[in-house]
Chain A
Amino acid sequence: MTSTLEVPARTLDASELAAVRADFPLLARTLRGGRPLVYLDSGATSQKPEVVLDAEQDFYIQRNAAVHRGAHQLAEEATEAFEDARAKVASFVGVSPGSLVWTSNATAGINLVAYAMSNASLGRGGEAAKRLAIGPGDEIVVTEAEHHANLVPWQELAARTGATLRWIGVDDDGRVRVDELDTVVNDRTKVLAFTHASNVTGAITPVAAFVAKARSVGALTVLDACQSVPHLPVDLTALGVDFAAFSGHKMLGPTGVGALYARRELLEAMPPVSTGGSMVEVVTMEKTTYAPPPQRFEAGTQMVSQAIGMGAAASYLGELGMDAVAAHEHHLAGLLLDAVASVPGVRVIGPTDTRDRLATVSFVVDGVHAHDVGQVLDDAGVAVRVGHHCAQPLHRRFGVASTSRASAAVYTTDEEIEVFREALAGVRAFFGLEVS
């Protein structure tokens, strides 16, 4: 990955964008007072195209059966659909199906890695798992930009094992301090966990620099790819990370499903975390041997219809072309930044230029709390996220308790951002503050 993303010329033209929007039934609904919906909260969860809804429904109507057991035809078809979905999602992020574990969401994926390391530290998984063991004197490094999902599991792992948690700071533009890699990461570092793109600032992390540094000290890399996979072309093999987690519901798929990628040799070395049915080879009253990955990490009945829905979402995005999706959203990022910059008394928390950033723009309206900003925008039909966006340390870094966040997706239009701008322009006046 180069330091600056190349933005391809091909984007979605007006008719393609109209066709995309027609695929999302919810976008056509109206809100209180008959206002059209302007959905700028895709960073929290995306809307779902009909093909995803159909895929889930089709599974229940045509193929519903338990997967990976049963010898009947329905069970075979259900298993095939489930594994076909795994292949689709794996291919979408450039990895092999055997290195992709279904999880309930990205948070569960990151916790799976942390608890597998914890178990390895207790000697589970034997000799092979020792490379995942961690203990006193070892260090875990994260960044100040992390979502709580890629911070708290590491705090907990450190607390359980006696390892030390350290972190890389964020600069005034909201970008992670690449220059701190050399001062924070060292021979004691066992894990370098970082986000691919911040869910608050929208800044994209230069993954190559992080991976190179981690490799130079023999640390494992864990990438939170929740915000990148729905919006950018992501090839996890090319990025060279050891682990990556992302969720279905942010990439046009259903809730309740996500995926954890791990390099196959690591997945094979990892001891199980959640244990029980479906993840075993031989069980006696005394002990159990475990199935090879990915099944080793998929205990119990899986979220089959959701996985199939996530597979359909990956195919949908793949057919649109992630280059075109990224180009469209790059254009939207510029519009969002211009909209926020045009309103006096509003400042962006994050990069104010479109280089290496998502169309996710968090901002503070001076003198008005984010919750109140969100309420006034809602009154204009504009849905944004308000609060700390599960990133309290990052907000603390900028001296604010909360921000408002407008986040776009492939289906967002220029006109919607204009509605947002007009509504935002009225906020300070509504609360009796000066507007110029």
Chain B
Amino acid sequence: MSSSMEQLYQQVILDHARFPHGRGLEVVPERIVGVHTGESHQVNPTCGDEVTLQVDVAHTDNGIVVLDVRWEGQGCSISQASVSVLHDLVAGNDLATVDQIGGTFRELMSARGNGLDDEAAEDSLGDATAFTGVAKYPARIKCALLGWSALTDALIKTGARPTEDS
């Protein structure tokens, strides 16, 4: 197997794909006063991969906070591992940080495998930096972004903010 395969399928990705975090939806999300839940179903029509993602947010003294992310899906190791990593990065963070991480991850996916110049930004991605090599394969970028697209949509559906983020 070539080194480019090992760069693409880093052990972190394979581990997340086999033992994903945050998996399992709530059929009827528990209604707690002040908690808003949004759900989004996204499909990659070229390969049939899907993800359904639920996100809970609440207004706090620190602004809007993402309390939890749950998801269910089926697809390739890249798409499934990406949602698992997303769960770890997003749950418990405030919305501004979540938006920043999401934006940085999208930048990483546009970097053609070269990574980001901004080391601090890259550090904020944690396990998601393992996806650097994915950006070398244009057909796979959509796989890595499937969960993030679902998150963007689900956040809109919480009603916590009126429009799509940048």
Which A positions have Cβ atoms within 8 angstroms of B?
A: 32-33, 368-372, 375-376, 379, 386-388, 392, 395, 401-402, 426, 430-432
Contact = CB atoms under 8 A, between A and B. Distances in A.
Contact of A32 (B4, B50, B78): B4
B47 A375 contact: no
29 contacts: A369-B49, A369-B75, A369-B76, A369-B80, A370-B47, A371-B47, A371-B49, A371-B75, A371-B76, A371-B78, A371-B79, A375-B5, A375-B8, A375-B9, A376-B1, A379-B1, A379-B5, A387-B46, A387-B47, A392-B48, A401-B49, A401-B74, A402-B47, A430-B1, A430-B9, A431-B9, A431-B14, A432-B14, A432-B18
B5 A430 contact: yes
Contacts of B140: 371, 375
Nearest to A433: B18
A150 to B, nearest CB: 18
Contacts of A371: 47, 49, 75-76, 78-79, 140, 143
A431 B78 CA distance: 12
Contacts of A431: 9, 14, 77
A386 B143 CA distance: 13
A431 B18 CA distance: 9
Interface residues of B, number: 23
Contacts of B60: none
Given A369-B75, A371-B78, A432-B18, A376 B48 contact: no
A372 B46 contact: no
Contacts, number: 60
A376 B5 contact: yes
Interface in B39-79: 46-50, 74-79
B19 to A, nearest CB: 11
A428 to B, nearest CB: 12
A395 B48 contact: yes
Given A371-B143, A379-B4, 13 more contacts: A371-B47, A371-B76, A372-B76, A372-B77, A376-B5, A379-B1, A388-B47, A401-B75, A402-B49, A430-B5, A431-B9, A431-B14, A432-B18
B166 interface: no
Counting chain A CB atoms within 10 Å of each CB, which of B50, B80, B143 scores highest? B143
A371 B146 CA distance: 14
Contacts of A33: 2, 4
A402 B48 contact: yes
Contact of A375 (B46, B74, B75, B137): B137
B2 A379 contact: yes
Nearest to A371: B76
A343 to B, nearest CB: 16
Contacts of A392: 48
A244 B163 CA distance: 49
Contacts of B74: 401
Nearest to A32: B4
A378 to B, nearest CB: 9
Contacts of A32: 2, 4
Interface string B5-30: 10011000010001000000000000
Contact of A386 (B4, B47, B78): B47
Contacts of B1: 376, 379, 426, 430
Chain A to chain B: the 9 pairs with minimum beta-carbon distance, closest first:
A371-B76, A369-B76, A387-B47, A401-B48, A388-B48, A379-B5, A372-B76, A402-B48, A372-B77
B13 to A, nearest CB: 10
Contacts of A376: 1, 5
Nearest to A388: B48
A212 to B, nearest CB: 36
Q: Looking at A371, A388, A432, which has the most chain B CB atoms within 10 Å of its CB?
A: A371
